[in-house]
Structure 1
């Protein structure tokens, strides 16, 4: 399926935008009721993943405090969640020292019974 956006000099109507996004989502079987705003939430979360603070994200999307917190960002405190998972609280650091440990085969077989097949 190919989406043909309007020419640059032509304004894209809300209904055309909604229809194009709807077709793009339905083609692979994705169902969503947030067709025209689907990228707003994902772009806000992606910015959060690379450690942009809420003020920067809000300015980028031209959102007010209520909109960004209620609609686009999770209410989870990222630093606390990172800390509880064993990661340092500063961003873009994903190495866990415990990841180099090899669990015993007996434990692996209990967790994944088909591991030897």
Structure 2
């Protein structure tokens, strides 16, 4: 029995990559001018959500200052916003006091009438 080596990966052309993503977005009903860079902004923001600073995010995406600030991140100061919301400015610690509150059933039924069905 002869074992075949895995096929060598071939570089994907930019146009093939763009066309493939465009078809996927279209079939999902998503309209976007961005095709090949559609995930860049969300990955930068998700990295920021786990408290990475701008320098770490820039290194992760291999972006320069202009690209990361103008295109991928919001201009909101994350640490300030977290502190104003009552969350620690470090680590992945978030606590929402309202999440521990169980609203009365009568209120739930008013908001979601089918809740008892």
> What TM-score does the superposition give when structure 2 sets the normalisation length?
0.76
Query: CA separation of 1:56/1:115 partners in 2, compared to 1, >3 Å: closer, same or farther?
Result: same
Paired residues, number: 107
Q: Which runs of 5+ in 1 are unaligned?
A: 1-6
User: TM-score normalised to the size of structure 1?
Assistant: 0.76
Q: Paired residue for 1:43?
A: 43
Larger radius of gyration: 2
Q: 2:76 aligned with 1:76, yes or no?
A: yes
Does the 8 A contact of 1:86 with 1:96 survive in 2? no
More helix by share: 2
**TM-aligned CA distance change 1:64 to 1:114, over 3 Å:** closer
Give the root-mean-square deviation of aligned CA atoms.
Answer: 2.2
Q: Which residue of 2 aligns with 1:94?
A: 94
1:6-17 map, 5 Å? 8=9, 10-17=10-17
Q: Is the 8 A contact 1:79 1:89 kept in 2?
A: yes
Which 4+ runs in 1 deviate beyond 2 A? 96-106, 112-117
Q: 1:68 offset after TM fit, Å?
A: 0.3
